Amino acid sequence: MLTKTEKSRRSTILDEIRENSLDEKWLDEQLDFFETSLKTDPEIVILSNWICIGDPFMDINGTIMKKIDSKQFTSIDSIQKKLSEFYSDFLDENKLNKETESILGFSSEIDKENTKGYNFSTDYLKTLVKNLSNKKNLSKNQIESCLYHFAKEMRIKRDSISEQFDFSKFLIKSQFDKLVHLQHKRWYACPEFFIRVYYDLEENKIVFRRKNNGNQISLGSLRISITLYGNKSTLFNAVLSNDKERLKNRLKKEIAKLIKQFYLKSYKKETSITDVLSGDAVSELLSANTFDTHVRNSIKELKEFFASCTHKDKEKILEMIKEELKL
């Protein structure tokens, strides 16, 4: 918590940041700047593809992912249009049912109830397909165990799969690729998009690219995502609404929320040197004691080393200091 002696330096900055988050006009200005930033730097909307590893269709270079090029995100309109088209297609239940029937030979609702806490795996799915394609080497219990886990992997009801089901077709790579893609769709394992948000203390505004000038605070990220259980982020719902005003309002609320979270965290916890070095805070939020102690200790260590160096190396150190500090 802040002490009375520290309050004037830290709380003034924090209170100003918080007041901005409550100012509708200021938030509108940040959104205008976001639109301007998109025109020159559309890749501030970042694609996170980690959840789709192993899916040849959803891989960065896959056929479906080629439909999404973050360089096309040159406005809020284009973000909403492109992502709405992509996610709407990916989450279309009618298409999913048809795809399930085409690949598995039957349709099945997504079995969320029996797959709670289950971690699906493309590698394990491949193992199950191999085992079930050669049942003669398995006991009855082993067959049942494989079918049970195949149902979980594909998020379908166990009783949907006949013991006579022919798994051998999935030994063909192209067919297995389709099965993997269906697996990811049934687990809502689609990419997420995020926008990093920073507060520039000197310019008193939100920016979306970090500059190593010591003036920027990392507030976190705005995320457009859906969980494996179908829970959508508030921005996800706003994108799919096809309502630009709703999306803009949600963006403002999410930015204000990030600021509030930073404000509360900073008031409860003293800013550390690590926070400053990581970009989570700026040096002006350090207490006077922390700031002075760190600088003095750093200078003391360098001073002791400097004193033990030869004249030639002392000159080298002075040149390095000038270069590093850009004096």
Integer Cα distance of 155 and 228 in angstroms: 11
Q: Which residue has the tokens 């809020």?
A: 76
pLDDT over 80 (residue 217):
yes
Looking at residue 1, its pLDDT comes to 47
Instruction: Show the CA angle centred on residue 113, arms to residues 111 and 116, nearest 5°.
Output: 105
CA-closest candidate to residue 69, choices 171, 241, 191: 191
Q: What is the dihedral of CA 141, 146, 152, 156, to 10 degrees?
A: -90
Percent of the chain whose pLDDT exceeds 90: 50
CB atoms within 10 A of CB 294: 15
pLDDT over 60 (residue 79):
yes
pLDDT in tens, 29-51: 999 999 999 999 998 998 876 55
Burial zone of 299 (CB within 10 Å; 0-12 exposed, 13-18 middle, 19+ buried):
exposed
Looking at residue 96, its pLDDT comes to 93
Average pLDDT value for residue range 73-87: 91
Which residues contact residue 235 at a Cβ distance below 8 angstroms, ignoring those fewer than 6 apart?
Answer: 222, 223, 224, 247, 250, 251, 254
Q: Is the pTM of this model over 0.75?
A: yes
Looking at residue 205, its pLDDT comes to 94
Integer Cα distance of 186 and 36 in angstroms: 37
pLDDT over 90 (residue 15):
no
Integer Cα distance of 208 and 72 in angstroms: 17
Average pLDDT value for residue range 102-113: 92
| Residue 217 phi, psi dihedral angles, 5° rounding | -110, 130
Which has more pLDDT, 298 or 3?
298
Domain boundaries, the chain: 4-89+190-273, 92-186, 287-324
User: What is the SS3 assignment for 224?
Assistant: strand
User: What is the SS3 assignment for 254?
Assistant: helix
Beta-bridge mates of residue 196 = 221
For 323, the enclosing helix (H) or strand (E) is helix 311-324
Q: What is the mean pLDDT of the chain?
A: 86
Which has more pLDDT, 213 or 226?
226
pLDDT in tens, 232-252: 999 999 999 989 999 999 999
pLDDT over 70 (residue 52):
no
Average pLDDT value for residue range 159-174: 92
| Residue 194 phi, psi dihedral angles, 5° rounding | -145, 160
Please, which pLDDT band fits residue 327 given cuts at 50, 70 and 90? Answer: low
Contact 14, 263 (CB under 8 A): yes
